[in-house]
Amino acid sequence: MRTQRRTLIFIPTYNEAENVQALYRQIERLGLGCDFLFLDDNSPDGTGEIIDRLADENPRVHTMHREGKLGIGSAHADGIHWAYAQGYQVLVTLDCDFTHSPDRIPDFLGYASDFHVVIGSRFMQEDSLPGWNAFRKILTYGGHFMTNLLLRMPLDATGAFRLYRLDRIPEDIFGLIASRGYSFFFESLYVLWLNGAVVKEIPISLPARTQGNSKMQIGDACQSFFLLLKVLRRRIVEPKSLHYSVFPPVTDREEMTSLQRNES
């Protein structure tokens, strides 16, 4: 399956020397014809050198290097803006640790014609988190519960396995997003969804990491919760700060999302 639109696959990295080349090779074997952008935050394990070697052997591989850990959200923001600057129509984002199966990328691309955003949902099928410890499950389910409760957004908003139709989404809308950490994911999806972006969820399963360590810490979860409250405050006190006039209004987002779930 070769994609018909100019598509970029974005993969942020930090200490992923054990995974990054294997992930790249597996995606390449899909034959999608996509370009790649790896963004590395000065990994001490040599990940940056590995992605540079991949770029040397394939002109469709691009790299960005930052001076240090500046936040996963800021990495995604930088990747999104780079993709716009280079004129890509479609952007796929995923983690480098194989929790996001690269074999599912064609499924995301299959919905690119009809939606602004396609996201992988961990809450549409049973046993979607095999091998996860109790701590990570609590963080994941807790985050999903709070975004549903406080933002009334019935989507899996905290995951990074996504597709964006950049040619249908105004770049400036990402300027409404303040988060630079893990909370970038729910804030960005909320801003897009609130402004009328049509979102498709597809069920995914996320196994535990096989190499390396999870980068999510309790401090990240606490920071995300406080930012969730700040987003809620903006919705109540400063609603205009979350709105972008280009997107047409949608009157019943929950009903539309329910219909999309039933189509799966």
| pLDDT tens for the chain, residues 1 to 264 | 677 789 999 999 999 999 999 999 999 999 999 999 999 999 999 999 999 999 999 999 999 999 999 999 999 999 999 999 999 999 999 999 999 999 999 999 999 999 999 999 988 877 766 666 777 777 777 777 888 888 899 999 989 999 999 999 999 999 999 998 889 999 999 999 999 899 999 999 877 755 555 555 566 667 777 788 888 888 888 888 888 865 544 334 444 444 454 454
What's the pLDDT at 98?
Answer: 93
What's the pLDDT at 221?
Answer: 67
What are the sequence ranges of the domains in the chain? 7-263
Closest to 69 (Cα-Cα) out of 231, 225, 217: 217
Contacts of 257 (CB under 8 A, 6+ apart): 154, 155, 199, 201
What's the pLDDT at 205?
Answer: 83
What's the pLDDT at 52?
Answer: 98
Closest to 73 (Cα-Cα) out of 169, 173, 187: 187
Decide: residue 22, CB within 10 A, 0-12 exposed, 13-18 middle, 19+ buried.
Answer: middle
Look at strands 117-121 and 162-165 and give their pairing.
antiparallel
Angle, helices 184-194 vs 72-85, to 10°: value is 50
Full-model pTM: 0.84
What's the pLDDT at 230?
Answer: 84
Q: How far apart are CA 123 and CA 156, in angstroms?
A: 7
Strand, coil or helix: 29:
coil
What's the pLDDT at 13?
Answer: 98
DSSP category for residue 209 = P
- Residue 36: which H helix or E strand, with range? strand 35-40
Could you please state the CATH topology (level 3) that the domain comprising 7-263 is classified under: Spore Coat Polysaccharide Biosynthesis Protein SpsA; Chain A (3.90.550)
Contacts of 220 (CB under 8 A, 6+ apart): 181, 182
